[in-house]
Amino acid sequence: MSGGTPGAGETLPGAGGGDDDAPDRVVCHVDMDCFYASCERLRRPELAGEPVVVGMGYEPGESIGAVATASYEARAFGVESAMPISKALELLPRRADADPDDPDAPDPGETGRYVPVDLDFYEDVAGEVKAVLRDCADTRREVSIDEAYLDVTDRTAWTAAGDGDDPSPSTAAGPASARTLAEGYARHVKQRIEREAGVPASVGVAPNMSAAKVASDADKPDGLVVVPPGTVAEFLAPLPTADVHGVGPVTEDTLAELGIETAGDLAAADRDRLAAELGERGPELSRRAAGDDDREVTPTGLPKSLSRESALPTTADEATKRETVSALAADVARRARERGCLYRTIGIKAVEPPFDVNTRARSLPGPVDDPDLVEEVALDLLGEFDEARVRKLGVRVSKLDFAETDQATLGGFEPGEGNGSEREGAADRPPGPEGRRTATDGDGGKLTDWVDGEPTAEGDAPGGDAERRTGDGQASLGDWS
């Protein structure tokens, strides 16, 4: 790593905690911008400013696969994460198909660059980012390959920079009026990431985790938003409830039914009524909306499961359900492989309207790393819901094994046989057609992503429906290894 860096006991650009015995916490949320697309631009500078689509399960020249992430230029054409490549191509044809001499060919100015996912390369770049974060903060929570929380209270402070009587104006977005040492330190972190890893990041700075998370999403891409103590509630108040950390689509709908549309509404809502509707999470979300969040930044532990969900327009169409589950299964298996873990149980979730959450799972003879098996079992479990109308589907692998161990021998294992099934009454069904297809959700193409234990994944619906909004719209976010 390059560049002069502060030692563990120093602050940069300089600060102490002042005379307060309990100084306000300084939390940074670092969120990489369109990370996969940024990595591709790092090694292919000619992609700068171009619409870039990174495909999961995509091969050059093909139309199979799903959009893992789309650059902001590609999003301007309507391309969204989790969208099938075939749909993305309708909105944004390939540059390779453009021919200025062919009147029937697409206009080169309305085409994009399509590239396949290269996880090995992205993980190398993420390692460079991770090294910067480790150097800049002793207390970190690394949520995913492109997202982390830093508690830098021991490195900087909310003290105004420059003349105390006439402080320098803030140059960051957000409610900060005066430039603080915390702003300077966050800018230092942001600049080091770009200089040493070569990719842009958006950073939110606030006195608590939930406000910092919202702040990092508020001025993308390449943004820096500072929310000093005393301004959090004012900053959050006009935002929609969906922006409050921990509010997923189910909770958003429930709040709307209660006439609660903004964070300010949520902060002012009767907390007893919220508890009656949402359980203990209701008052907690109200406190967050009011700027009150006393959670500490703690290191991420090993998850108990890995899973993905996709919201859908309510449908009973079998093909739509199967292609959705196939795409989710492929991504869950890939994420497990990224983390180097095996799994002993494969399951699905099917949510029938309005909020009837059904789960089915099947145990395997031993821990495996087998993407094809994840898809096969998930599709077989889906068979119970052939006739059902669903509004959301999910795939989960659980009973994770992170130890170095041999995989179980699965000779003779066939879905539908006994083998420790935990299907809760699922009827045996034959596996579906061969070949993996892709899926989009009905909400702009964002797949929700929930990993047990992460602060960004809060139980959201009856039955533990945990939902996470990915502010940067990246469909495939691996976790730090």
Token duo for residue 60: 């050059």
Catalytic residue among 40, 73, 142, 147: 147
HEC letters along 226-255: ECCCCCHHHHHCCCEHHHCCCCCHHHHHHH
Integer-rounded Cα radius of gyration of the chain: 23
Q: Tell me if residue 147 is catalytic.
A: yes
Give the integer Cα–Cα distance in Å for 229 and 291: 9
Write out the chain in H/E/C secondary structure: CCCCCCCCCCCCCCCCCCCCCCCCCCEEEEEECCHHHHHHHHHCHHHCCCCEEEEECCCCCCCCCEEEEECHHHHCCCCCCCCEHHHHHHHCCEHHHCCCCCCCCCCHHHCEEEEECCHHHHHHHHHHHHHHHHHHCCEEEEEECCEEEEECCCCCCCCECECCCCECECCCECCCCECEHHHHHHHHHHHHHHHHHCCCEEEEEECCHHHHHHHHHCCCCCCEEECCCCCHHHHHCCCEHHHCCCCCHHHHHHHHHCCCCEHHHHHHCCHHHHHHHHCCHHHHHHHHHCCCCCCCCCCCCCCCEEEEEEEEEEECCHHHHHHHHHHHHHHHHHHHHHHCCEEEEEEEEEEECCCEEEEEEEEEEEEECCHHHHHHHHHHHHHHHCCCCEEEEEEEEEEEECCCCCCCCCCCCCCCCCCCEECCCCCCCCCCCCCCCCCCCCCCCCCEEEECCCCCCEEEECCCEEECCCCCCCCCCCCCC
Q: What angle (nearest 5°) sits at the alpha carbon of residue 450, between those of residues 400 and 241?
A: 165
Q: Compute the half-sphere exposure of residue 376: CA atoms within 13 Å on the CB side of its CA.
A: 12
- Write out the catalytic residue numbers: 147
